Amino acid sequence: MGNALFIVWRESVEAILIISILLAWIRERGDTRIGVHHLWAGVAGGLALAGFIALAMLGVHGWLAADAQELFQTAIVFAAAGLITHMVLWMRSHGRHMKRELEAGLSRAADSAGGASVALLAAIAVGREGAETVLFLYGLAMEQSGDTLARLFGGAGIGFALALATAWVILSGARRLPGRLFFRVSEVVLLLLAAALLVSGVERLIDLEWLPPLIEPVWDSSALLEDGSTAGGIAAAFAGYRAQPSLMVLIAWLGYWGVVALLGRLQRRSAA
C-alpha cells in the first residue's frame, strides 16, 4: 500500500503542478485564442491516453501464455524501475527551471498554434505521468493478490488525495513544505523504490532460470530483520531488502546504485 501511495502521490503532484502552471499562464496572458477549456481538453486527452495504455497492458497480459506472462511481467518490473530512475534524473536537471521552460515554450507555441498548443502540452504532461503511474502500479500489482492487491489500489487513491493537498501547499508558497525539499526527499524514496523493483525483477529471472543465483544465500539476517515482519516488509518494498539475498541479487542492487551515482556525477559535470 505504502509504495503505491508514494508513487501516485509523486506522479500526481508533478502533473498537478504542470497543470497549475499552465492555468496561471493562461489567465495571466489573457489571450482570447487560448482559454481554460483548451487546458481541460488536454487533461482529458492525457487521462484517456493513460487509460488506453492500461487497457492495452491488461489485454496483452490476458493474451499471453503462462510462461510468456511471467516474462512480460518481469519486463514490466524492469521497465518501471528504469522509468522511475529516468524520472528522478530528469527532474534533477529540469525541475528548477520547469516553470520558466514551460512558459517560454508556451509563448512560442501559442503564436503559431494558439489553444491547440496548450491542449497538446497538457495532454502530453498528464498522459506521460498517467502512463508512468499505470506502469508502476502494474509492476507492483504483479507482486500482490487478494486483500493485499485491494490495499495497493486503496493506497493509490490516498496518494492522489495527498497529491492534491501537497500541490496546493507548494503552490501556496507555504514555508512548511518548500518545493525543493519535497522533490529532494521524494527523489531518494523513488530511487529506493526503483532498486526494490530491480531486485524483484532479478529474482523473477532467477526463478525462471534465466539467471543463476551464484551463491544463495550470501548471509542470513533474519534474526535481525525478517522479510515477513512489518519492518522487514517495508524495507523490502521500499529498498529491496532481503534477509537471505543471493549473490546475483546483491550484484544487481549494488550495480544499480553504482550506475545511479555515475549518472548523477555526469549530470552535475554537464550542468557546471
Q: What parts of the chain have a pLDDT lower than 50? A: 174
pTM value is 0.64
Which regions of the chain does DSSP assign to beta strands (E)? none
What pLDDT does 149 receive?
Answer: 66
Rounded CA separation 19/85 (Å): 23
What pLDDT does 256 receive?
Answer: 94
Instruction: Give the single-character DSSP code of 222.
Output: T
Q: What distance lies between CA 120 and its chain's CA centroid? A: 22
Rounded CA separation 29/49 (Å): 28
Distances (CA, A) of 14 to 61, 95, 120: 29, 10, 17
Rounded CA separation 113/49 (Å): 22
Distances (CA, A) of 60 to 5, 55, 64, 130: 26, 9, 6, 19
What pLDDT does 29 receive?
Answer: 59
